[in-house]
Amino acid sequence: MSAPRIVLASQSPRRAELIGRLGLAFDTIPADLDESYMPGETPPEHAERLARDKALAIAAAHEDALVVGSDTIVVVDGDVLGKPRDRAQAVEMLTRLAGREHEVCTGIAVVQRGRVESGLERVRVRFRALDRRACEEYVATGEPMDKAGAYGIQGFGSALVEGIDGDYFAVMGLPVVRMLALFERFGWRYAFGELRRAD
């Protein structure tokens, strides 16, 4: 039996890059959802629910595929830092994160034929001390503008991060090992470049 088609329910180039690094063929079909919080929903619950909702939205028209949804949020002092609306807000976010620790929550979900399997990665990220000028110089690169928390750990933003406790790839937006574990729940194991039937 041939491996199922993989569909990434995201327009994130970082998530696409990570699946591509595994050597797996996949299609990208972004999900367009209302990402508002539900009443009483915590940030980790929100990230996992959105991952499920994104995958379910695309899976409805692609039942045989393994549809992957993911959502990443940055939390500091209990506040969620989403994508900055402009450069001034990006600088304020980075100033707030500078010299301290914050949490990144990335939800991951896989859907096939109506079945949903999901999980969550929580990562502690520590920024080095930064003055306002450094924050402004980073924002001037344009890199932070489409990223939760106004930084990308894999790009210029790597110069901001002093250390992490947890899954680096979850901070990029796709917890790779957890995704592969979810594939196994559907009977498919990763064999370095392809999916094979789990024994």
The predicted-structure confidence for 113-157, as pLDDT tens digits, reads as follows 999 999 999 999 999 999 999 999 999 999 999 999 999 999 999
Q: Which of 71, 86, 131, 199 is catalytic?
A: 71
71 assigned to active site: yes
Q: What is the pTM of this model?
A: 0.95
Tens digit of pLDDT for each residue in 182-192? 999 999 999 99
199: pLDDT confidence band, cut at 50, 70 and 90?
confident
**pLDDT at residue 69 greater than cutoff 90:** yes
- Residue 195's φ and ψ, nearest 5 degrees, are -100, 135
- Is pLDDT at 15 greater than 80 in this prediction? yes
Instruction: State residue 136's pLDDT score.
Output: 98
- Is residue 90 over pLDDT 90? yes
Instruction: Please give the pLDDT value at position 119.
Output: 98
Question: Domain 6-197 - what CATH class?
Answer: alpha beta
Rounded to an integer, the average pLDDT of 5-33 is 96
Domains of the chain, by residue range, sit at 6-197
**φ, ψ dihedrals at 49, nearest 5°:** -65, -45
